[in-house]
Amino acid sequence: MSKQILVLTGAGISAESGLKTFRDSGGLWEDHAIEDVATPEGFAADPELVWRFYKMRYQQAEQARPNAGHYALAELEEVLGEQFHIITQNVDGLHQKAGSKRVLEMHGRLKRCFCTDCHKRYEMSRTDLSLPVPVCDACRSVLRPDIVWFGEIPYYLSEIDQLLRNCDLFLVIGTSGVVYPAAGFVLTARYHGARTISINPNEPANNTHFDECIQSKAGDFLPSFVAELKQQVLT
Judged by the rule CB under 6 A, the positions of this chain that interact with ligand APR are 10-13, 15-16, 21-24, 27, 89, 107, 173-176, 179, 200-202, 204, 217-218
Task: Tell me: does residue 138 bind Zn ion (CB under 5 A).
Answer: yes
Contact partner, 42, from Zn ion, ligand APR, none, Cβ < 5-8 Å per class: none
Would you say 85 or 109 has its CB closer to ligand APR? 109
Q: Active-site residue numbers?
A: 107
CA atoms within 13 Å, Cβ hemisphere of 235:
6
Name the strand (E) or helix (H) holding 120: none
Rounded (10°) angle between helices 68-80 and 218-234: 20
CA distance 185 to 175: 12
Q: Tell me how many residues contact Zn ion (CB under 5 A).
A: 8
Would you say 114 or 155 has its CB closer to Zn ion? 114
Dihedral angle at the C-alpha atoms of 207, 231, 217, 101, nearest 10 degrees?
A: -90
Who's near 151: CB < 8 A, 6+ residues apart? 39, 40, 41
Q: In whole angstroms, what separates CA 171 from the centre of its chain? A: 14
Task: Tell me: does residue 113 bind Zn ion (CB under 5 A).
Answer: no
Would you say 127 or 176 has its CB closer to ligand APR? 176
User: Shortest Cβ distance from residue 10 to ligand APR (Å)?
Assistant: 3
User: Shortest Cβ distance from residue 138 to Zn ion (Å)?
Assistant: 5
Q: How far is CA 171 from CA 5, 35, 54, 71, 213, in A?
A: 8, 30, 28, 15, 10
User: Shortest Cβ distance from residue 113 to Zn ion (Å)?
Assistant: 11
CA distance 169 to 196: 6
Contact partner, 136, from Zn ion, ligand APR, none, Cβ < 5-8 Å per class: Zn ion
> Which residue in 160, 14, 20 sits closest to 73, CA to CA?
14
Task: Tell me: does residue 118 bind Zn ion (CB under 5 A).
Answer: yes
Task: Tell me: does residue 79 bind Zn ion (CB under 5 A).
Answer: no
User: Shortest Cβ distance from residue 8 to ligand APR (Å)?
Assistant: 9
Task: Tell me: does residue 115 bind Zn ion (CB under 5 A).
Answer: yes
Interface with Zn ion by CB under 5 A: which residues?
115, 117-118, 120, 136, 138-139, 141
